[in-house]
Structure 1
C-alpha cells in the first residue's frame, strides 16, 4: 500500500479544493517515496496546481506518507490496520464492525489500496461510512483492472454508484479509472452513473492494458444513511415499476440480507 505518482496527482488536486476539519485517517499505513528518475513529474504537478511545496519537504525518512498528507493540508493522519507491524496507531480488523467510539470521528479517510485485501467488503465499506462525520470525505483507490493475484478483489465503478450514492445517499465527487504507469502520459477514464441511462457502462475496447485503479471521492452529508437493501443501478431502474422480491420481502417485515 502506497502513494505512487498517480495517487499523488489526485491528492495534490484534492488539496486545492478540500481541507478536512478534525481527525483524519488512512486505512493501512501508506508509504510514499519520490523516485529520482521521475522527480520532475512530481515537481511539475506541484507547480501546475500552484502548491508551494518541494519534493524534499514532503518525504520522510521512514518512507511513509504522514508528512505528505500534513503538508497538503490533510492534518495529522492516523493509521488503522489489522496489525502494528507498520506502526498503525489504531488496531482493528476491517472484517469486523468498528467500535462505536470511533463512529463519526473522522473528516477525511484515505484508502490507497486496503479494502481490496479485506474479505468482508460490505463490512469494510460500512465501517468507512460509520467512521466519517457529516461533511467528511472518503477517498479510495483500489484495483479495477490488471491486478491478478494482488488482492482478494478487483472493483467496478458500479460499486461506487450503487453503494455510496444510492445506498448511503452520499455525494460522489469523482469516479474514474486511472492507469498506473501509462505510456504517453496519464490515462484517466471517467465512470459516470449508469442509473442515469438505465444501462451499464459500455467499456469494451475502452480500457487500456495494464494496471488501473478505481479511484473515487465521496462525501457523507447530514442526510446520508445506511439502507438495508443494495441493488445494482441498472437493475434497480428496470425493476422500479414492476413487482420485485426486494419490495415483497421488506413489506413482509423480513430482515434483509
Structure 2
C-alpha cells in the first residue's frame, strides 16, 4: 500500500506528538502521491495540525514517501523488504527471525500495509517487537474490512490489544478503524480493549460498507516482554472466572521464562 489521505492525516497527527531521535524503519517501501482533485485537503490537514508545510514539499520524483516522512520529523527512514525490487536498504523475510544485530535498533517502525502480505504473522510481529528500542513506537495500517484478495489476511482490533497490550506489555496509544473513501473521509471508529468488559467488540451494524483500515500505534516500554502464550481476551476472562478454574492462573503459565 501507499500513504493515502487517511493515513497521511494520522501521520501528520503523530508528528505533533512523537519525534524519534534514532533510527527509523519502514516495512516495505510505500508510495505517496497526491491526486489533483484532493490536493487542497492535504494542505488543510497540514494547517489543522499546525505544520508549516505544503503538500508539494512532501513529494518526491520517484513517487515514494521518504521525503514525506523526513519532513514530518520521522528521520531518514530505512526500508526493509523481502526483495530489493523497490530499492529496500535492508533485505529480510518477515516470515523468519530477524538477525541479532537488528534487535532494539529502531525508535520508529512504520507498516503502511506490509504485514497483511506475510504468511507468518506471529513471526512478523515478534520481529517488529524485537527491532524496537524501549520507548520506540510501531505504527501500523493494514486491512480490517473490505479488502478481499488484497493480502493474505485482514486484521482485527483483538490482535492489537491481545498481542501488543497483554502479551507484550506495550502501551496502546491508538487503535481505530478508518474508512477509506475514494476522495478521503473522516469516518473513524475507536476500538477499546475487550478485556475491560470481558466481552467481544460488538460491531454489527457499526461498520460502513467499503474498505477500512485497522490503524494502531503502540509503544514498547522498558518493562515490555513477550509471553509464551497469546490468549483471546474474552476466553481468558471466562476461563479465569469459571468455577472450575484451577489454582494455577493462566497468567502465571504465560509469564516470560
| Structure 2 match to 1:5 | 5
Q: Secondary structure at the match of 2:137?
A: strand
TM-score, scaled relative to structure 2:
0.94
Structure 2: how far apart are the matches of 1:148 and 1:185?
Answer: 21
Q: TM-score, with normalisation over the residues of structure 1?
A: 0.94
Coordinate RMSD, CA, aligned = 1.8
Aligned twin of 1:147: 147
Name the counterpart of 1:68: 68
Q: Does 1:38 align with 2:38?
A: yes
Residue equivalent to 1:28: 28
Structure 2 residue 116 is the aligned partner of structure 1 residue 100 = no
Q: Distance in 2 between matches of 1:213 and 1:116?
A: 11
Distance 1:158 1:43, change over 3 A: same
How many Å apart are 1:240 and its aligned residue? 1.5
SS in 1 for 2:216: strand
Distance 1:216 1:195 in 2: 17
Which secondary structure state, in structure 2, belongs to the residue aligned with residue 142 of structure 1? Answer: strand
Moved more, 22-31 or 182-191: 182-191
CA contact (8 A) 2:78 2:89 kept: yes
- For 2:84 and 2:70, locate their aligned partners in 1 and report how far apart those are by CA, in whole Å: 21
Equivalent position of 1:194 in the other structure:
194
Give me the whole-angstrom Cα distance separating, in 1, the residues matched to 2:240 and 2:223.
Answer: 23
**How far, CA to CA, are the matches of 1:227 and 1:49 in structure 2?**
38
CA deviation digits over 1:53-110, x for unaligned, max 9? Answer: 0111100000000000000000000000000000000000000000010000000000
Contact 2:6 2:185 in 1 (8 A): no
Match of 2:126 in 1: 126
1:181 to partner: Cα distance: 1.0
Aligned length: 251
Shift of 1:186: 1.4
Over 6 Å off, 4+ runs: none
Worse-matched range after superposition: 2-11 or 179-188: 179-188
Where structure 1 has 5 or more consecutive residues not aligned to the other structure, the ranges are none
Q: Give the Cα separation in 1 of the matches to 2:44 and 2:204.
A: 33
SS of residue paired to 1:113: coil
The whole-number CA distance in structure 2 between the counterparts of 1:62 and 1:217 is 28
Gaps of 5+ in 2: none
Q: Describe how 1:1-257 pairs up with structure 2 within 5 A.
A: 1-181=1-181, 185-242=185-242, 243=245
